């Protein structure tokens, strides 16, 4: 399985935006974490298959407090990616994405 690199990975043309705005627009800060002023980062790994679908998303390193579940939900909401390429052929590729949560103002 190939690994993702910045030069190979772009969101599909259907997304028309980088991942960061898509994540920000859809993120729901866990209420308990917001009330307590908690922040954190979650590392989510997933596979992009030959057609660009995101599969097998899982938390590699979480921080609890509802952040892990929210990070998985966000990754599963992302539009399809362009698949990795090896010798001009679409291949499955693994990727890890860090999703940071900061305190939001009410």
For 19-60, the pLDDT digits (tens) are 667 788 888 999 888 889 999 999 999 999 999 999 999 999
pLDDT at site 16: 36
Q: Transcribe 94-106 into DSSP letters.
A: EEEEEEEE-PPP-
pTM of the model: 0.78
pLDDT at site 5: 44
pLDDT at site 25: 87
pLDDT at site 103: 67
CA distance 30 to 73: 12
pLDDT at site 76: 92
Supply the DSSP symbol for 34: H
Q: What's the chain's Rg over C-alpha atoms?
A: 15
**Residue bearing the bigger pLDDT, 15 or 42:** 42
pLDDT at site 105: 56
The vertex-84 CA angle with 80 and 85, nearest 5°, equals 140
* pLDDT tens per residue, range 55-93: 999 999 999 999 999 999 999 998 888 888 888 899 999
Which domains, ranges and CATH numbers included, belong to the chain?
Answer: 2-101 (3.30.2420.10)
Give the Å distances, CA to CA, from 42 to 1, 37, 91: 23, 17, 26
- Edge to edge, the sheet with strand 2-3 lists 2-3, 93-101, 40-48, 54-61
């Amino acid at each position: 399985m190939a690994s993702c690199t910045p030069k190979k990975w772009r969101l599909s043309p259907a997304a028309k935006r980088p991942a960061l705005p898509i994540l920000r627009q859809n993120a729901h800060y866990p209420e308990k974490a917001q009330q307590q002023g908690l922040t954190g980062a979650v590392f989510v790994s997933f596979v992009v298959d030959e057609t660009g679908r995101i599969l097998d998303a899982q938390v590699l390193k979480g921080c609890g407090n509802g952040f892990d579940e929210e990070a998985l939900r966000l990754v599963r909401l992302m539009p399809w990616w362009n698949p990795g390429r090896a010798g001009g052929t679409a291949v499955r590729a693994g990727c890890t994405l860090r999703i940071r949560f900061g305190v939001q103002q009410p």
